[in-house]
Amino acid sequence: MFNDLFPKANLGIGPHDCLPYSYKAFVIAARYFPEFGGEGSSKVYKRAQHERRDVAAFFAHVLQETGENDISLFNTSLSNEEKADCFYRGGFYNWFERGPNSSFLLPAFPGFQTVDGKRCTEEGRYCKRSIELDYWSPCNESTETHAGQTYHRGCYFGRGALQLSWNYNYGLFQQFLLSRGIKVDLINNPNLVVTKMDPPLAMLASLWFYMTPQPPKPSMHSIVVGDWRQSEKNRRAGFSGPIFGPTSLVINNECGGEDPEEPVPAGPERSLSCKGMLDNFDAIPHMYSWQPDWGNMWRARPCDCEPASYGGPLPYYDPKLYPSKFVKENDRNRLRCVYSIYESPSTFRLDEGNAPCLKYKPKISLTKTGFKD
């Protein structure tokens, strides 16, 4: 069925075990997320319906993000049903953002091979800089020269079925992989997202993004199965429970609504779009990340971290808002934060003068990743 649904995967070659997109890759990636297509309970849908809707929602975003999206089909003599059938079988087409002939890549290596993505123009760097990000997800600064032009090796433009983008997302995904015993350096070698096949990272990165909340945003999966908290205004407006619309706000921050000229009946606007959503996800006050406990730096005890009401590289998952499997990550992320204070106090502009707690070392062993080296 997968091969029938996505015959144009991998630049039209079709699903193939030696390329980023295949049924085998999809199954392997799904095994890392047993909740995907495997949970959901509400008064709206039966369990089996939840499971199918979850998988369908993922495929819908795959089609939007990296599908062939050949709108010229709708100007042909095919029937409307045939046009739609061809159009919606174009998923998993592209590997790279703006692909396959991506303007982010070298003209000599435009994206028709997976290895073409290992270098890019300045526009494709997608490197966000800050004192904290330079510590946790520092961009690879190495360059190459081709035909007198300088190209970068630290390129964090979109890759994979849901276009994993920006250095901080590559860093978070790398941490997830490490938590599963997979050691891979995506910060220095970001193109491994499409070239590494054991396990298949292009598919795995996409499911990771679909399944993982990034406070204040819930995961796309949680929205589809109805396991997310809504503001009172959104609830009154009908944006609650198991729906699809707000997932677009998660992945692209887009809420433009459905195209009125869409040749295929799209269904109710409210269920498929977030156009009428009154509040953003941050309308429910909660903490987003782990940061140094600034108010207690003066104490004669080891430095510590606490949840903060702004975003950062180390997410904090509020137990009232996020699934328990993510809440379990809180203590590890807190200790990673503590490690960073001692290992790189300059990141936070700290020294023993303004932070006496630095004189008192933690009694437990700490590491940057939260795992034993």
Residues labelled as active-site residues:
65
Residue-level length of the chain: 373
CB neighbourhood size of 157 (10 A) = 23
Residue pair 99/111 in contact by the 8 Å Cβ criterion: yes
Compute the chain's Rg from CA coordinates: 22
Q: What are phi and psi of 83, to 5 degrees?
A: -60, -50
DSSP class per residue in 37-50: TT----SSS-HHHH
Q: Which two tokens stand for residue 370?
A: 């939260």
E strands, the chain, in order: 143-146, 149-152, 289-292, 305-308
Q: Helix 201-211 to helix 23-31 angle, to the nearest 10 degrees? A: 50
DSSP-derived 3-state class of residue 197: strand
DSSP 76: S
DSSP class per residue in 131-175: HHHHHHSPPP--EEEETTEEEES---S-BTTTTB-SHHHHHHHHH
